[in-house]
A = this chain, B = another copy of it.
C-alpha cells in the first residue's frame, strides 16, 4: 500500500480541525473549535426564491456543463463590486470562480509550486493553507505576525531564500484575528513591488469588519503578481462552495484556469447563478450589516467573559472583525495537552500546533465565536476559565 502513495500525499497533514471535530461531535460540547458561520445568517428564504427564479428563467442552462472560469454574470458582479467598494479597476476577465477559497489555494499551489520552491507564510498561518500547499512539497518560511502585521525584518530575511509565493490574510487573520495596519501593508508593498513573487491576499472575512475602516489591499490593484481571494461562504452560504480569485496578471490567471479545468472542469453552475441572482435581487449590504452586528455581539460576549473568567497570565487578541481570536497561555503550557481536559468539561478549541510548521505543544489556541449564541459562549468561556485557573 505505502508504495502506491505519492510523496505528495505522505507530506500532506490531515486537517487537525476535522479530526478534532469528530472527537467533539458530542452535542453537549460547546465547541469553539470549528470555523462555521452562524446558520441564522444564511438567507434561506431568499435563496429558495432565487432557485425558483433561475430555474424558471434560465432553464437547462443552470443544469448544463458550463465554462471553466465561471459564468459571466457572477464574474461581472464581483468585478463591479470590488471596483465600487474597494477602488479596484477590474473587468470580469480578472475574476475566476472557484469551488470555495480552498480550491483557489489548491489551484495557485498547483500552478506555481514545484518541489522545494520557497513559500512565505504568516506565523501562525491558516492550517488549510499549510495543508494544501504541503501537497506541492515546498519549503515553508514563517514570518511572525504581530499586532501591526508582518514582522518586517523577518520578512526581509525570509526573502533571501528562493521565494515564489507569499500567503497572507491581512484582515482578521485566521487563526489570530489580527489585522495588518495601513503602515505595515505599505511597508510590505514597498518590499515586494519590484520582486517577481506571487502574493496571495486571502480575504474571506473582509466584509465582516465590525470596528474601524476598511484598509487598502497590499497587492490587489498594484502588484503585478497579485492574487486576491474572496468567498461567499461567510456572507451567503458555505455549503454552495463558491469562492473566487481576482488576478489582473492575465497570463498567470490563464494558467490557473487550465489547472481549474483539469481539477473539476468548472464550479457548480447552479450555485453560481443562484448566488448571482440572490445578489441582484436582495440588498446584500444590509444583509452583511446584520451578520456584522451579530458577530460583533458574539465577539463582545466572548471577550467580556474572558476578561471575567480568564486568569491574568492568559492573554488574547481583540479582533476588529472576522470569526476568530487567539489565546496565549503561560509559557510551557501545552494547549494540546489541555485539550482532553477541556473536553471533559465539555468545551472544545483548536490547539495552536497545526497553525505552525512542525511545532508541537505550543501555548496558543484558536477560539471561534461565530457559531454559538452569546449565552453559550459565556458558559463555554466560564468552563475554560476554570480550567485555566487550575493550571
Contact = CB atoms under 8 A, between A and B. Distances in A.
A21 B164 CA distance: 34
Nearest to A257: B14
Tally of this chain's copies? 2
A298 interface: no
B114 A8 contact: yes
A339 interface: no
A35 to B, nearest CB: 8
Contacts of A358: none
B55 A100 contact: no
B63 A239 contact: yes
Contacts of A238: 63-65
Given A18-B68, A100-B264, A12 B63 contact: no
Nearest to A51: B51
B39 A4 contact: no
Interface in A244-295: 249, 251-252, 255, 258-259, 261-271
A196 B3 contact: yes
Nearest to A15: B261
B100 A265 contact: yes
A59 B41 CA distance: 12
A100 B110 CA distance: 19
B68 A9 contact: no
A240 B271 CA distance: 8
A370 to B, nearest CB: 12
B36 A128 contact: no
Interface stretch (A129-137, A185-193, A377-385): A129-137
A111 interface: yes
Given A269-B239, A271-B270, A103 B264 contact: yes
A220 B374 CA distance: 51
A110 B109 CA distance: 13
Contact of A136 (B6, B37, B44, B239): B6
A99 B100 CA distance: 12
Interface string A41-60: 01010011001100100011
Given A111-B6, A114-B7, A263 B1 contact: no
B131 A261 contact: yes
Contact of A114 (B1, B6, B66, B241): B6
A354 to B, nearest CB: 13
A268 to B, nearest CB: 5
A155 interface: no
Contacts of A265: 100, 102, 128, 241
Given A262-B102, A264-B241, A60 B47 contact: no
A102 B12 contact: no
Nearest to A56: B48
A391 interface: no
Nearest to A39: B60
A46 to B, nearest CB: 11
Contact of A262 (B34, B128, B252, B267): B128
Given A6-B111, A9-B112, A39-B64, 4 more contacts: A9-B111, A36-B65, A44-B63, A47-B55
Interface of A: 1, 3-9, 12, 14-15, 18, 34-37, 39-40, 42, 44, 47-48, 51-52, 55, 59-60, 62-66, 68, 99-100, 102-103, 106, 110-114, 117, 128, 131-132, 134-136, 164, 196-198, 225, 233, 237-241, 249, 251-252, 255, 258-259, 261-271
10 contacts: A1-B251, A5-B252, A7-B114, A9-B259, A18-B68, A42-B63, A48-B52, A64-B238, A135-B262, A241-B267
